[in-house]
Amino acid sequence: MNDFNIAVLGAGSWGTALSMVLCSKGYKVNLWTRSEEQYRDMVRTHKNNKYLPDVNLPANLNLHIDLRESVLNAGAILISVPSQSVREVLQGIKPYLKGDEIIINSSKGLEKDTYLTISQVVNSELPNNRFAVLSGPSHAEEVCQNMPTTVVVASKSKNTAELVQDLFITPGLRVYTNPDVIGVELGGALKNVIAFGAGIADGLGFGDNAKAALITRGIGEIARLGKAMGANKSTFAGLSGIGDLIVTCTSMHSRNRRAGILIGKGKGLDEVLKEIGMVVEGITTTKVAYKLAKKHNVEMPITGEIYNVIYNGGDAKEAVTNLMTRSRKHEIEEIVDSTSMDW
């Protein structure tokens, strides 16, 4: 049994799936939820009935409702709460930390009021802790069933990235490392915007051609904004870029795509959120991405049209027409460049 303690904050589908991976390797894992109702149900049934109802929780998984108890003596703390709750959770655990814990983020979003990435939020609250971000094409429903999955861990410190790589790597979960923290974060966050758009296209009854166009042009938008914000473009040709975009735009496991489908079918946003029943990160991220594109003077037409549909009540069919009738362009995308990245 490995005596390295890990706290997982957030008992949604992804936090639960990653807890199961860590438990399978013999780590002592504390899984925290803020919901007393969910906590009691998980203790009673040994299942996460709200998010992964068909999966039995490991016997060696420790469930917690007390935030302090969940992080005491933890060598690593995995953040897996909705992106808009990250700062609050960090502020909640700050008094109980020693400063040598590794903070690992697996939330895929941007803070809506500050437009900060999660690494920037963590640095503002816990500047002395080591940090890594885990991202990539990885549906929790498949990971908890040990289906082959690949993810990427990014950190400014090579040693930290490799330590986190060792924590999570299994025969079913292959983990790569990358020094481009902001690129990996932006890939994981912005793909939700394009996936929402892919869902709208599906809801409108469009076919594979439209989806291929959205994915291809979408990764171009993501890479342009990423470069403007200091990311390396080659990151977006990897797991947290094209990889995550493909899986999120094509799978019904994706709540962003499912939400977009409902919008495309004519349902209102409040009705959509009620039906999905979980946080749809792409809705908030669309607004932040739209504002960041304006700030950095980056052309993001797909993001702009999705923003108009969500926040201005724009017509989804008209949005597609606007995209299809834009002024003629020449296509040469430089998603993969020759810039070398290393620590």
Supply the residues annotated as catalytic: 191
For residues 246 and 204, what is the distance between their CA atoms, to the nearest angstrom? Answer: 19
For residues 71 and 59, what is the distance between their CA atoms, to the nearest angstrom? Answer: 20
Residue ranges in 46-180 assigned as alpha helix (H): 67-71, 86-93, 118-125, 140-143, 158-168
DSSP-derived secondary structure letter, 96: G
Q: How many CA atoms lie within 13 A of 202 on its CB side?
A: 19
For residues 252 and 258, what is the distance between their CA atoms, to the nearest angstrom? Answer: 6
Got the DSSP string for 197-234? HHHHHHHTT--HHHHHHHHHHHHHHHHHHHHHTT--GG
Sign of the four-CA dihedral 46, 52, 58, 61: negative
Residue ranges in the chain assigned as alpha helix (H): 13-24, 36-45, 67-71, 86-93, 118-125, 140-143, 158-168, 181-203, 208-228, 244-250, 255-264, 269-276, 281-296, 301-311, 316-324
Whose tokens are 């999955």? That residue is: 149
Residues constituting the chain: 343
Q: 327: which residues sit within 8 A by CB, 6+ positions away?
A: none
The answer to whether 21 touches 31, Cβ cutoff 8 Å, is: no
